[in-house]
Structure 1
Amino acid sequence: MVGLTVAGLAVAVAPSPSFAYDPASTATINIDKNTLILRGYDAVAYQTQNKAMKGMAQYSASHNGATYQFVSAANRDLFKANPAKYEPAYGGFCAMGVALEKKLDGDPELFRVVDGKLFLNVNADVQKAWSRDVPGNIAKAETNWPDIKAKAPKDLN
């Protein structure tokens, strides 16, 4: 379990037992042991429908070592035409965590699309804190990400 202090808010952050978040991994993308990213949620639906929708294995695409799943062939094809538009920021790790120089699991149901980019948060308390200064937190995360992206979460304490 990781403790996180956000603007005076102490939040306990534990990896979800249903997801293969690995604190020892140096991967730059948050994938499970089968290379599934976003826990199988459709990366395109966030932007086209503004909601988290669980994809299906029959509509899959691979990109940069991750397997994405979609709700339809149309969404899969949109992704394949422009994956950079739909892939999550910071490899699907928590945006607030990255702003605080940490790599925390990202919950695909706790998202926000900002300027056409998908950002995830680890839990509702962290998302609330992140939402208090979205531009500032994105700026911090953008500065931090190049330095932490290839490090293991356990090494960022």
Structure 2
Amino acid sequence: MSRILLLISLFFSAATFAAEDVYTGFFSNKAVSGYDTVSYFEGGPVQGKSDFKTEYQGAEWLFSSQANLDKFLANPEQYAPQYGGYCAWAIAEKDDLAPGDPAYWKIVDGKLYLNYDKSIQGKWEKDVPGFISQGDLNWVKR
């Protein structure tokens, strides 16, 4: 029994470290839960399609069209969410890697930020510049 627990803990530890740069969840390798990150900059999020995908920073990124995939490939840092898609508030306030939910987002100064849920996004919106400043400092330390 202890061997099984050890193997499970090693598996989850390795998965956690491998996916640390980009949030994908435990049982997926899809960044932003499979949403097309370019679409956030063009009116709002839409689900990506497996026909239009690429790998970036160890995660699979899906897009709704070849045009959006091409835009991402030309400049992934412009379209990838900040803090690897983890919750912007959690990075700033707690220096913690909480999941970002693609439904709770905001573009600030041309950058995409995700938050954990509606309540957390409300907290984040009370001091967006302050949280971004602190989040940037915390993220660089990782």
Of 13, 22, 25, the match for 2:16: 25
SS of residue paired to 1:67: strand
Aligned-partner Cα distance in 2 for 1:115–1:141: 15
Cα distance, 1:97 vs. partner? 0.3
Matches within 5 A, 1:49-128: 49=43, 51-100=44-93, 101-128=95-122
Aligned-partner Cα distance in 2 for 1:63–1:70: 13
SS of residue paired to 1:104: coil
- RCO higher in 1 or 2 (8 Å CA, sep ≥ 6)? 1
Moved over 3 A (4+): none
Aligned-partner Cα distance in 1 for 2:22–2:74: 20
Aligned-partner Cα distance in 1 for 2:28–2:112: 22
**Given that residues 21 and 57 in structure 2 are in contact (C-alpha distance below 8 angstroms), is that contact kept between their aligned partners in structure 1?**
no
Give the number of the structure whose residues are more often helix, by fraction. 2
Cα distance, 1:34 vs. partner? 4.0
Gaps of 5+ in 2: 1-11
Partner in structure 1 of residue 39 of structure 2: 45
Cα distance, 1:133 vs. partner? 0.7
Structure showing greater Rg = 2
After superposition, the CA RMSD in angstroms is 1.6
Q: TM-score, normalised by structure 1?
A: 0.76
Q: Percent identity?
A: 36
Equivalenced residues, count:
126
Aligned-partner Cα distance in 1 for 2:96–2:71: 31
Aligned-partner Cα distance in 2 for 1:115–1:73: 26
Gaps of 5+ in 1: 1-21, 150-157
